[in-house]
Structure 1
Amino acid sequence: MVFSKQRGTVYSIWGGSRNIGEAITWILTATIVSFFGWRAGFIGAGIAGIAAGIILLMILKDRPRTYGLPDPASAYGEESEAVKSSDPKETRRAQLFVLKQPTVWIIAAACAAMYISRYAISSWAVLYLQGSKGYSLIDAGFAMSTYPIAGFFGAILAGMASDKLFNANRHIPTLIYGIANIAGFALMFWGPQSRVMDAIALSMIGFAMGGLVVFLAGLTACDLMPKTQ
């Protein structure tokens, strides 16, 4: 378990990293499909996935203690929060404890609602831009790349700002990101009709989604639940 004072920052790095790949995917996939057909889009993505898997097999390492290194928490003057018990009964008891907490279910419901809007954008926005706003496939792909690029910055800022500015309190920044998300959707559907405004709207949505994924997809629940029970 990541130590508390740096948890938001670490989560933000995780949340931001996937946005880089998503941005590249929108641009390259749209270009490949336009020139070589939809089958080439699947083949290209498959080749990229295999290559990434091989690279990860070569460079990924186990936890520092596996190599005789000290716990990272000590570098920040914190006590490690890792659960030392490996008893399956203790693990099941902790899992049941978490499932009985109303707060966890509220976070889960909020996360589900957020993911509905997130995958609506990821899966359908490129078609919406073509069908309702007259974009070509390549133009729609480039426009969509603003969404994950902004998401990268939103994710990075979310964790770091909540650690540094809000003293690891995730609630206020989550509310701010949620309002920004709603504003982005409102601008997309009811704002002035121009490609500049579309790019701004997608950037707002992406920025907000980047932060909301960090907060709702694990960080907030991880902060609220005890590490042992």
Structure 2
Amino acid sequence: MNTYEIDAAPAAVKRSRVRYGVLAMLVIASAVALADRANLSIAGSAMSSELGISSVQLGYLFSVFSWAYVLAQLPAGWLLDRFGAVRVYGCSLGLWSLFTFIQGFADGLPVGLIVAGLFCLRFALGLVESPLSPGNSSIVAGWFPVAERGTATAIYNSAQYLAVLVFLPIMGYLVHYAGWHWVFWGMGVLGLLLTLVWARVVRSPLTHPRVNDAELDYLRDGGANVQMQNGNPSGSKVLTRGVLKMFLTSRQMLGIYVGQYCLASMQYFFLTWFPIYLVKGRGLNIMEVGLVATMPAVAGFIGGVLGGVISDALSRRGYSVSIARKVPFVTGMLLSSTLIFSNFVSSTYVIVGLMTLALFGKGLAAVNFAVVSDTAPARLVGVAGGLFNLFGSVSGIVTPVVIGYAVQSTGSFTIALYFVGAHGLIGAFCYLFVIGKLRPLSEKVRVRE
């Protein structure tokens, strides 16, 4: 059906806009998930003082989430393709909220087991949160046509900045006035309530009671993968060695994965060590950190949305998908590397300005999440998203630990900022000189019956 015919039709057949409500739920759920990853960075200083946790131990506690996230990415992608993204995502949301809540009782453990207990809880959090990013990609691929996918992807990725903007000041307030326990208890209860809302209002395009035929036709005609949201009965045969080889021997896909590794290094710095950098490296108190962190978060949110808008605008003007995705990504990664200059200034205002510019650039670059849907075979979006996030999660293992050792051995964040900033340059290089022209990956392997 022609889109213009739908627009010109009587009001009775005007297409519904349920996809925007689904996108809103993705944004809220992703913001809660990312706040649950970052809550240790807000509570970390108080917990370190009260529970005797060292910088290296804290670095490992930041990192262990990603250890589990790496291990679970491919199984998570298989679960999404096999049982449907909506169902798996909802279960994941409930479980990660439960593990967040339990972390608030960590001081009830024997003294020698506190770090080990937190380690196990953060590991469990990473396992059950693993369907988040590939689930977002899969749901967006089902609910949005290709021409809207860049903006939709950028909007749900902006949830990480929404998490900083909304939840960091609240968590800072809770730590300051109520104690670090309430950060975990409050976020856990919020996530459990959101799970109930998800179960009631989110469905696949083919089963949602509020979607009309006009919107379904619009999604199909625009290339949305509406069928995959209900799960694939043959999904048990999707994750094979041949499938993995197809992705991992493609120069295009390897360049995309390294780009995600570099982008994730920026993300994990801001989600883990950035608040502690402001406290220990720049002398701010935790209440000030909650307020100061909002400025970079606003810039990151604006950059995230703008990256998708720019990408889709370039597509509508006739530019290739390759140009539409690479322009905001490369520009953003180069801007994100400017945080290195924080090593050469002493003014808190200038440092916050540089971090704001870096987070704005990281937001622009987050359009790379749309590349998964652009390049993966339709039936393998979950697996492709799992591999994509696996590489990002490896960065989440490496970055917090390297920073922890650098801070403990040198007593400053100088080396840490060089380390993080270099990732921006490497990511831009990959998209300019390694990936080549972005195009859908030809599925050369066949699932054996």
Same-fold status (TM-score > 0.5): yes
TM-score of Structure 1 vs Structure 2, range by shorter chain? 0.7 to 0.9
Offset at residue 71 of structure 1 (A): 6.8
Give the corresponding residue for 1:45. 187
**How far apart, CA to CA, are the structure 2 residues paired with 1:222 and 1:64?**
17
**How far apart, CA to CA, are the structure 1 residues paired with 2:189 and 2:182?**
10
Say yes or no: does 1:61 pair with 2:202. Answer: yes
Offset at residue 110 of structure 1 (A): 1.8
Please give the residue correspondences for 1:1-12 in structure 2 after superposition, counting only pairs within 5 Å. 1=141, 2-12=144-154
Cα pair 1:71 1:80 within 8 Å, conserved: no
Instruction: After superposing the two structures, state which structure 1 stretch, 203-212 or 152-161, moved more.
Output: 203-212
**How far apart, CA to CA, are the structure 1 residues paired with 2:183 and 2:235?**
44
Say yes or no: does 1:175 pair with 2:306. Answer: no
Offset at residue 178 of structure 1 (A): 0.6
Offset at residue 114 of structure 1 (A): 1.9
**How far apart, CA to CA, are the structure 2 residues paired with 1:73 and 1:98?**
31
Long gaps (5+) in structure 1: none
* Percent identical: 18
Cα pair 1:11 1:219 within 8 Å, conserved: yes
Offset at residue 29 of structure 1 (A): 0.6
Please give the residue correspondences for 1:8-27 in structure 2 after superposition, counting only pairs within 5 Å. 8-27=150-169
Moved over 6 A (4+): none
**How far apart, CA to CA, are the structure 2 residues paired with 1:201 and 1:6?**
31
User: Of 343, 348, 358, which aligns to 1:205?
Assistant: 358
CA RMSD of aligned residues (A): 2.7
Q: Alpha carbons of 1:27 and 1:104: their partners in 2 closer, same or farther (altered >3 Å)?
A: same
Q: Alpha carbons of 1:128 and 1:84: their partners in 2 closer, same or farther (altered >3 Å)?
A: closer
Q: TM-score, normalised by structure 2?
A: 0.45
Long gaps (5+) in structure 2: 1-140, 380-442, 444-449
Residues 126-148 of structure 1, C-alpha deviations (whole Å, 9 max, x = no match):
11111121111111121112232
Q: TM-score, normalised by structure 1?
A: 0.83
Please give the residue correspondences for 1:1-229 in structure 2 after superposition, counting only pairs within 5 Å. 1=141, 2-58=144-200, 60-66=201-207, 67=209, 69-70=212-213, 72=215, 74-75=217-218, 78-82=221-225, 86=232, 87-88=234-235, 91-92=238-239, 95-96=243-244, 97-165=246-314, 167=319, 168=321, 169-183=324-338, 185-190=339-344, 192-215=345-368, 218-227=369-378, 229=443
Instruction: After superposing the two structures, state which structure 1 stretch, 219-228 or 66-75, moved more.
Output: 66-75
Letter in 2 for 1:223: D
**How far apart, CA to CA, are the structure 2 residues paired with 1:18 and 1:24?**
10
Cα pair 2:147 2:222 within 8 Å, conserved: no
- The secondary structure found in structure 1 opposite 2:327 is helix
Residues 98-134 of structure 1, C-alpha deviations (whole Å, 9 max, x = no match):
3442211221122112212321222111111111211
Q: Which has the higher contact order (CA 8 A, sep 6+)?
A: 1
**How far apart, CA to CA, are the structure 2 residues paired with 1:145 and 1:48?**
21
Return the index of the structure with the highest Cα Rg.
Answer: 2
Q: Alpha carbons of 1:61 and 1:122: their partners in 2 closer, same or farther (altered >3 Å)?
A: closer
Cα pair 2:331 2:364 within 8 Å, conserved: no
